[in-house]
Amino acid sequence: MAGVLIVTDSSTCIPAAIAESLNIVVLPISVHLPDSDTSVIEEPDGSTWQLTGDLEHEELMSANHPFVTEYLSVIETPGYESALVVTPAIEFSTMYRNASLATELATRETVVHDARTAAAGQALVVLAGAEAAARGASLEEVLEITEDASRRVELVASLSSIEPILRSGEVPEEVFDHEVAASERSLFRMRDGVIEPLGGANSATEGLEMLRDVYVRSTLHGVDSSTIFHADAPELAAQLQELIGDVDFVSGFSIAMQVYTGRGVVGIAWLPAPER
């Protein structure tokens, strides 16, 4: 029998090949198109649908997070001794609550962990735990490693527009002041469940350089893992990689994340190496 089952959701944007190699179960998120009864169900790698320019400015319905029953179904997957469910920060989604309710109904020992971040930052937290589970670590050991990753993980990003994220209601308007809103790019950092504004940039190039500077200052002692992410902006992602060097993987934003952030987002998430 295998040890710890790792469960998360498709907003992490973990490439399907990586998730499969580490036996990570990725629950999809559904998104409803405006003026339609049709819901688009994401594949785990978020590759089934792109947010078009026309729809980007529509009043999209919120993405449907995995339900309690969906979490319960995967938690009870045969062949495992225990399960760890990693969700986005509770401040930004209902997934932690849904997963916690599922554990109350589960027959298998299960722990729900709030990653204290989201998207690519959450991906790095999930991967830290999954790699430990693949080495045969116990649930307690996997949780300890996952918690450590959540304390260290950093995420910075550059938005092409703050309109979609403000419309979502997930981020207070005061986070992005008028000066930042007037800039061509708005930058922010996510850490420990808090979104912190980093100012505005007058061009995409300046925004990338600002992201690089934040990354460099945080990795003076090295970096354990890193990923570049983007929302339909592969050219910006490639330019960012040129500035900072190799990362573990590059991934596109899932459609659920694009609903909240719009297209053109580019950023980096990383686990800085602890000071020795």
Domain co-membership, 167 together with 188:
yes
Query: ∠ CA(25), CA(119), CA(221), 5° rounding?
Result: 105
Domain co-membership, 103 together with 195:
no
The residues near 103 (Cβ < 8 Å, ≥ 6 apart) are 75, 85, 110, 111, 112
Domain co-membership, 22 together with 146:
yes
Query: What is the span of the domain harbouring residue 241?
Result: 154-272
Domain co-membership, 18 together with 107:
yes
Domain edge (last residue) among 102, 125, 150:
150
Domain co-membership, 136 together with 174:
no
Domain co-membership, 85 together with 219:
no
Dihedrals φ, ψ of 216, to 5°? Answer: -65, -45
CA 130, CA 136: separation in Å to the nearest integer? 10
The enclosing domain of 34 has a CATH number of 3.40.50.10170
Domain co-membership, 190 together with 229:
yes
Tell me the per-residue pLDDT of 148-162, one tens digit each, with 9 for 90 and over: 999 999 999 999 866
Query: pLDDT under 50 in the chain at which residues?
Result: 46-49, 53-61, 178
Domain co-membership, 94 together with 213:
no
Domain co-membership, 130 together with 207:
no
Q: Which residue has the tokens 């800085």?
A: 272
Tell me the per-residue pLDDT of 221-249, one tens digit each, with 9 for 90 and over: 999 999 999 998 999 999 999 999 999 99
CA 29, CA 256: separation in Å to the nearest integer? 7
Nearest to 233 by CA among 200, 211, 215, 216: 211
pLDDT of residue 117: 96
Domain co-membership, 173 together with 141:
no
Nearest to 146 by CA among 193, 86, 98: 86
Q: How many domains is the chain partitioned into structurally?
A: 2
CA 93, CA 87: separation in Å to the nearest integer? 9
The enclosing domain of 207 has a CATH number of 3.30.1180.10
Domain co-membership, 55 together with 102:
yes
CB atoms within 10 A of CB 196: 12
pLDDT of residue 32: 63
pLDDT of residue 44: 56
Domain edge (last residue) among 106, 124, 150:
150
Q: Which residue has the tokens 């007058």?
A: 202
Domain edge (last residue) among 118, 150, 182:
150
What is the distance of C-alpha 81 from the center of its chain? 27
